[in-house]
Structure 1
Amino acid sequence: MSVTMLPEVKKFLSNQPLKFFAGGKHVAAAAGGTFETRDPGTGEVLAQVSAADAQDVDAAIGAAAHAFAHSPWATMPANDRAVILHRLADLIDKHTPTLAQLESLDVGKPLAQAAGFDIPFAAKAFRYFADLSVHARRREPLALQGIEAHTLRKPYGVCGFVLPWNFPFLLLGWNLAPALAAGNAVVLKPAEDTPLTSLYFGELCQQVGIPAGIVNIITGLGHTTGAALSKHPGLARIAFTGSPEVGRLVAEAAGRNLIPCKLELGGKGAAVIFDDVDVAATAKQLAAAVTLNSGQVCCTATRWLVHEKIFDQFAAQAKTEMQSLKLGHALDTHTQMGPVVSAKQKQRVLGYLDKGRSQGATAVLEGGPDPSLPGFFVKPALLQGPPENICAKEEIFGPVAYLMRFKDEAQALQLVNASRYGLANSVWSADLARAQRVAESLVAGNSWINAHNVFAYGLPYGGVNLSGMGGGVNSPETFYDYLRPQTIARPLG
């Protein structure tokens, strides 16, 4: 299909290479480097983008430190800061059509998903944390014998963020909103595959009156720009969302600088499906979950543990649901599932399918490339086999589910908890007492009952083991993560 861009999108993409945003200005890379971002639905280049190096990162962190120290952002009343963040959320809502189309073109996700969830839910993050900040207690008196004392909570300073390509704008909201609401300055490095909405966000921050240097967005490659940011001694804390492998490198760098580090990492989510479920309805929900964003969702259910009494019926129903999805370009209104984000990601998913079959998995639904479409498309796949298979153990990050049988509750728990990941699982049963019991026994940051991918502001979300450390997102605890504690004490005579 021919891609029809909104006039605002065309205008934004017209001034190439796109510059990053630092110190309140649009800045080209000092060394003149650039990289390409592509439309995953066609494989064609969307834009040339400035590639920051260590010198550019240093300048952005310097601008953030100056703004934190000299602008009113950190010291203004919480109400005043909240008003600005509410205006920012309003501006995001106003620009939803532009942001949604940029996100769809850059990531490959259907436009309806970006416009219906990603962008508006990110706007809600700024409202939630703005309101939370107004009511937060930053000063607490301490009742101590012979000492007059209280504790304070104050913003850290310059906070760094390295974020992934699967939900660029949504995760920008989840991460930057609490840091900004707490009064910090931020330096964001978006994924090189999907930098567009982050750069557009910089323009909105400028329009809404956030002081220059408080929000900085630097673009570039992970091994250069991302590494320079994570190692920089000018950061007061850092947050990373991505793979455990890169997360270890970020945590190591944070450890060397002795700063707090928040990691939101990968997952190998399980769905435990008991024999009392509505098979058709459950298969429909889980097929939708594993194909959402073409399976590029860290918390999605990719291991489907099905009670042996309904295994064959469930597998057949899930196959019907998955093979009925219409694949297509993100801007095609009939598209239900788009491509994966890049040629590299396409080869990764196809490689796992080959490895899984070579290790004894059988295909209920074959999956694989779709030669009828340009770009980076992978058809949904449904495998079954033993729990030792690589596709049952490692994160694939594509539209692939793996079926396993279980006979009783104890076996289901053993299979789920054998994973080294611990992000999110779900339990499906009409017996709510059993569902609650099993959900509480699963080793993960999140256990959902008769649903998968459940998000709300005020509902904590985070991982354990290979899936993360350092605190989660979307809750009051997230806000307080961005305030450092300080004790003030005076001995009484």
Structure 2
Amino acid sequence: MAEAQFAPPVLDDIRLARKMLIGGEWVEAISGKTFPVYDPADGQVIADVPAGEAADVDRAVAAARAALAPGGPWRSMTPQVRGQLIWKLADLVERNAERLSVLDSIDSGKPINEMIYFDIPFSVDVLRYYAGWPTKITGDTIPISYPARSGGRFHAYTLKEPVGVVGAIVPWNLPLLMAIKKLAPALATGCAVVLKPAEQTPISIALLAQLTIEAGIPAGVVNYVTGLGESAGAAIVDHPGVDKVTFTGSVGTGKAIVRSAAQDLKRVSLELGGKSPNIVFDDADLDAVVAGAAAGAFATQGESCIAGSRLYVQRAVFDEVVQRLADHAASLKLGRGLDTATQMGPLISAEHRDKVLGYVEIGVAEGAKVVTGGRALAGEGFFAEPTVLVNARPDSRIMHEEIFGPVVCAVPFDTEAEVLALANNTRFGLGAAVWTKDISRAHRMAAAIESGQVWVNCYQAADSALPFGGTKESGWGRETCRETLEEYLETKTVVVAL
């Protein structure tokens, strides 16, 4: 479906991404260069968007720093008004839910039902959650002991101030939601933002940028810059005018960002990969298990950092769970994300589809067996069948490397101690789940699993107030939640002689 084939209202929204928002103005890249964005459902070009480079990042950072200038509209705005603007942005996202859902579905391949029933409501909730925080960000008054020894009298207190300009680099799997998870706390704390979407999925974030203007957020507070990671992304990380980088993506890129940010000791928060264990004991509700395991493995085409890609099932129910999960996978309707009957969309690109299916081939070569799936769909688009594997060795690559596609490896186990050792045998620590009716065992496992979050008898339950993030190589810091605010704030100590 080439650009001209879209209906006029959708086409107008897509065309918004032909320019970048810098300092409140829609502009082209200084070089005039563009790059194509593809529809993963048919491989055709959706639009050509600006190929921003270092010079464009310079403009965006300058605009962000100007917005933070003392006496300017953003810096002098009261916390209450700042919160009201974030709430207004939430209202606009909710009001434009259909437009944003269509754009994200076209751009990323996600089924539009996932957008309507999860991504958009969660995005709105994140904005409203952080809209309540500006009036509650406070320092402390601190009684100090030194004056008693010196004979002087002092009044000491702390101030919470915005860290400054935030470079927010967004992934392609959940474009709109991930952008908002970074934008909302930055706005709540009074920071300014240079927001770079993934080059594969910039379309919905262009509309989000436009909505920030409509919400009344001052020019330069939110800047939207498109471009490739090695040019625009690297320029954001390297820029001396950027005070913090928040990134969601691959471990390799995350490590490169840390190395670059170390040159001027920028703040960095990272939400990286995962290889989440999904652990099923034989007393679990198997109907709930199969539904949860399928959602954990195949939602968002399995292109999810918290995908439950390692399924450990106690031996007594292993065959039943595997067969029921395989039957469920084989029944899923694959198709264009805009089709409301679609249950799983295409992968983001031909290259990524081939990488995912290459992992299936590697697994089979290492001794695994395909129960269902494992192939590309014939015809146009970047579709891969939902896949269930068994017989994978504990040391095999498919049990340790993030596949980032609709592939789940099922492994039997006998004892709690055995599965705990298997679950923790990974360099990642983002998500995990435990299915059991034994409440004591559930708490023991939750405490012992090395992971940023553990779900019990559910998978991927989320809320704006819950910390989201990982341990080990799954990243630094947390998103959503109160604790995230500290990553966007500096603490200043003031001591006054009386």
Give TM class, smaller chain. Answer: over 0.9
Alignment partners' CA distance in 2, 1:140 and 1:353: 55
Equivalent AA in structure 1 for residue 67 of structure 2: A
Name which of structure 1's ranges 23-32 and 281-290 shifts more when overlaid on structure 2: 281-290
* Cross-structure match for 1:382: 388
Cα deviation for residue 262 of structure 1 reads 0.2
1:8 CA displacement? 2.5
Measured against aligned partners, the alpha-carbon deviations of 1:422-451 in whole angstroms (never above 9, x if no partner) come to: 000000001121111111100011111011
**Higher mean displacement: 2-11 or 428-437:** 2-11
Unmatched segments (≥5 aa) in structure 1: none
Deviates more, 1:99-108 or 1:271-280: 271-280
CA distance in 2, matches of 1:158, 1:315: 49
Paired residue secondary structure (1:57):
helix
Among residues 414, 424, 432, which one is paired with 2:421 in the alignment? 414
Q: Structure 2 length as normaliser, TM-score?
A: 0.96
Q: Distance in 2 between matches of 1:271 and 1:289?
A: 8
Match of 1:295 among 302, 305, 309: 302
Counterpart of 1:30?
30
In structure 2, distance between residues paired with 1:6 and 1:466: 43
Aligned ranges 1:47-446 → 2 under 5 Å: 47-69=47-69, 71-136=72-137, 138-145=138-145, 146=147, 147-371=154-378, 373-384=379-390, 385-446=392-453
Could you tell me how far apart the structure 1 residues matched to 2:491 and 2:92 are? 33
**What one-letter code is carried by the residue in structure 2 that aligns with 1:409?**
E
CA-to-aligned-CA distance 1:310-342 (integer Å, 9 cap, x gap)? 111111111111111000111112111001111
Letter in 2 for 1:320: D
- Alignment check: 8 A CA contact 2:366 2:393 kept: no
Deviation at 1:256, TM superposition (A): 1.0
Offset, 1:12: 2.2
SS at match of 1:404: strand
1:51-96 Cα deviation digits (max 9, x unpaired): 1011111111011101111522123111011111111111111111
- The 8 Å contact of residues 300 and 452 in structure 1, kept in 2 or not, is answered as no
| Contact preservation (8 Å) 1:242, 1:265 | yes
3-state SS, counterpart of residue 76 of structure 2 = coil
Q: Give the whole-Å Cα distance in 1 for the aligned partners of 2:478 and 2:351.
A: 29
Pairing 1:475–2:481 present: yes
Q: Distance in 2 between matches of 1:280 and 1:449?
A: 15
Q: Secondary structure at the match of 1:396?
A: coil
Q: What is the rounded CA distance, in whole Å, between the counterparts of 2:200 and 2:14 in structure 1?
A: 15
Taking the aligned partners of 1:72 and 1:47, their CA distance within structure 2 comes to 35
- Alpha carbons of 1:311 and 1:448: their partners in 2 closer, same or farther (altered >3 Å)? same
Tell me which moved more, 423-432 or 358-367. Answer: 358-367
The answer as to whether partners of 2:330 and 2:373 remain within 8 angstroms in 1 is no
Opposite residue 102 of structure 1, the aligned amino acid is L
The separation in 1 between residues aligned to 2:202 and 2:422, in whole angstroms, is: 38
Structure 1 residue 457, shift from structure 2 partner: 1.2
Shift of 1:13: 2.6
What are the superposed Cα offsets for residues 388-437 of structure 1, whole Å, 9 maximum, x if unpaired? 11111100000000011111000001001010100000000011211111
Superposition deviation, residue 299 in structure 1? 0.8
Q: CA deviation at 1:5?
A: 4.3
1:486 aligned to 488, 492, 497, which one? 492
For the residues of structure 1 that align with 2:48 and 2:272, how far apart are their CA atoms? 29
**AA of the residue aligned to 1:474:** T
Aligned mates of 1:394, 1:463 — CA distance in 2: 16
TM-score normalised according to structure 1 size: 0.97
**What CA distance in whole angstroms lies between the structure 1 residues aligned with 2:32 and 2:427?**
42
Residues 442-472 of structure 1 show CA distances to partners (whole Å, capped at 9, x for unaligned) of 0011111011112101111110111001x10
Amino acid at match of 1:18: R
SS in 1 for 2:140: strand
**Aligned counterparts of 2:47 and 2:293: Cα–Cα separation in 1:** 35
Aligned residue for 2:473, secondary structure, equals helix
What letter corresponds to residue 199 of structure 1 in structure 2?
A
Looking at structure 2, the residues matched to 333 and 218 of structure 1 have their Cα atoms a distance apart, in angstroms, of 31
Amino acid at match of 2:382: F
The letter for the 2-side match of 1:48 is D
Matched with 1:462 is 469
- What is the distance in 2 between the residues matched to 1:283 and 1:125? 29
TM-aligned CA deviation for residue 258 of structure 1:
0.7
Q: Does the CA contact (< 8 Å) of 1:129 and 1:479 recur in 2?
A: no
Amino acid at match of 2:91: D
| 2:20 matched residue in structure 1 | 20
Check conservation: 1:6, 1:98, Cα contact below 8 A. Answer: no
Q: How far, CA to CA, are the matches of 1:161 and 1:47 in structure 2? A: 23
Superposed CA RMSD in Å reads: 1.5
1:187-212 Cα shifts (integer Å, max 9, x gaps) = 01110000011111111111121111
| Distance in structure 1 (CA, Å) of the matches to 2:95 and 2:321 | 43
SS class of match (1:141) = coil
Q: How far 1:245 sits from its partner (Å)?
A: 0.1
What is the total number of aligned residue pairs between the two structures?
488
Cα distance in 1 between the residues matched to 2:497 and 2:417: 57
Distance across 2 between alignment mates of 1:326 and 1:380? 10
Contact 1:280 1:317 in 2 (8 A): no
Is contact 2:430-2:451 (8 Å) kept? yes
Letter matched to residue 21 of structure 2: F
- 2-side partners of 1:476 and 1:412: how far apart? 33
Task: State the Cα distance separating 1:271 from its structure 2 match.
Answer: 0.6
Residue identity (%): 39
Residue 309 of structure 2: SS of its match in structure 1? strand
1:221 and 1:2 map into 2 onto residues whose CA distance is: 22
Tell whether the 8 Å contact from 1:302 to 1:400 is kept in structure 2 after alignment.
yes
Partner of 2:46: 46
Q: Does the residue aligned with 2:143 lie in a helix, a strand or coil?
A: strand
Residue type of the alignment partner of 1:131: G
Distance in 2 (alpha carbons) for counterparts of 1:88 and 1:7 = 24
Local SS of the residue matching 1:172? helix
CA deviation digits over 1:350-399, x for unaligned, max 9? 1111111111111111321011x420000011111211111111000000
* Distance across 1 between alignment mates of 2:131 and 2:312: 41
Measured after TM superposition, the shift of residue 14 of structure 1 is: 4.1
CA contact (8 A) 1:244 1:467 kept: yes
Amino acid at match of 1:12: D
